[in-house]
Amino acid sequence: MARNRRLIVLVYHRVLPCADELVPDQTDRKAFQSHAKVLAQYFNVVPLSDGVRRMKNGTLPSRAVSITFDDGYRDNRQIALPLLEQYGLTATFYIATGFLNGGRMWNDTVIELVRNCRDANLDLTRWGFGTWPLRSLEDRRRAISSIISQLKYRDWQDRNRCVSEFESASGLSLPYDLMMNTEDIHTLHESGMEIGAHTIHHPILSKVDRETAYAEISNSKTFLERMLHTKISSFAYPNGWPGTDYDTNHVEMVRHLGFENAVSTQPGCANGLSDPYQLPRIGVWDRGKAKFALRMMRQSYSIGSM
């Protein structure tokens, strides 16, 4: 019976100090604490790599959950880690190593640019992105969503060039403390959390050549292994949608490089038949404790995605 048990893999990105009306889908401290309470009380939380091994050998406990975080935001260490420790939980943190120590992800540059712009309009016409009104909260949300959508699948170097020029032209001083530093990674590791690789520059792997993709995957693994003096067993595909953001060539690269498992963003639960190098995950957006608990219970005992 244990061989048929399912592993729910949850994916988070940021855990903000408080709700941010500009990006309402981001998890905040209050919401994450409510999730942690539910998980500690009703579920068996296991490290991702341990959960995958136990799925294979038939020892996975019932109501098994693995918690994962993508990208390497500093609030993961500042806010999520103390709550995980408070409730006796563990998690896997996938780090895009190129943004450590003062870096900023391109999408956050867009968000912070729109947040801090005090003009009635954001003019990006010289880069081919049009002019965006910023007179209301809804205007700003719409601008963020549209600009990010237009940039997401561009060549990563061109994407980074664009956002860098956006920032320079704006004259605004944007935050440089959103991502972790190497000390934060050591703190997570020493606290018993699993560290996974997430490339260096977070490119969409399907949009770069094979050599670049291989180097992004390999070098992020090597960087983390040298930093922590331990094997890095788990990988997360950037953006993570199979067939669109990565393909079978990238799966084979991950396997060849010695990872034991990898996670996607395709929704669903893992089981003994799942490809360990394309594990599904479930995004979390619930705010209330009751709704989160009900959704998790349904997922534990039903077929299909959340």
Roughly how many angstroms between the first and final C-alpha of the chain, as a whole number?
23
Report d(CA 189, CA 298) in Å as an integer.
32
pLDDT tens digits along 67-97: 999 999 999 999 999 999 999 999 999 999 9
Model's pTM, two decimal places? 0.94
Q: What is the chain's pLDDT, residue by residue, as a tens digit (306 residues)?
A: 455 689 999 999 999 999 999 999 999 999 999 999 999 999 999 999 999 999 999 999 999 999 999 999 999 999 999 999 999 999 999 999 999 999 999 999 999 999 999 999 999 999 999 999 999 999 999 999 999 999 999 999 999 999 999 999 999 999 999 999 999 999 999 999 999 999 999 999 999 999 999 999 999 999 999 999 999 999 999 999 999 999 999 999 999 999 999 999 999 999 999 999 999 999 987 667 778 888 888 877 754 333
Concatenated DSSP letters of 88-148: T---EEEE-GGGTTT---HHHHHHHHHHH--SSEEE-GGGT--EEE-SSHHHHHHHHHHHH
Concatenated DSSP letters of 210-239: HHHHHHHHHHHHHHHHHHHTS---EEE-SS
Domains of the chain: residue spans and CATH: 2-101+179-301 (3.20.20.370), 106-170 (no CATH)
Secondary structure (H, E, C), 27-84: EEHHHHHHHHHHHHHHCEECCHHHHHHHHHHCCCCCCEEEEEEEECEHHHHHHHHHHH
Based on C-alpha coordinates, what's the Rg of the chain? Answer: 19
**Six-digit token pair at 268?**
């669903």
pLDDT tens digits along 24-36: 999 999 999 999 9
Residue 109's pLDDT is what? 97
Residue 2's pLDDT is what? 53
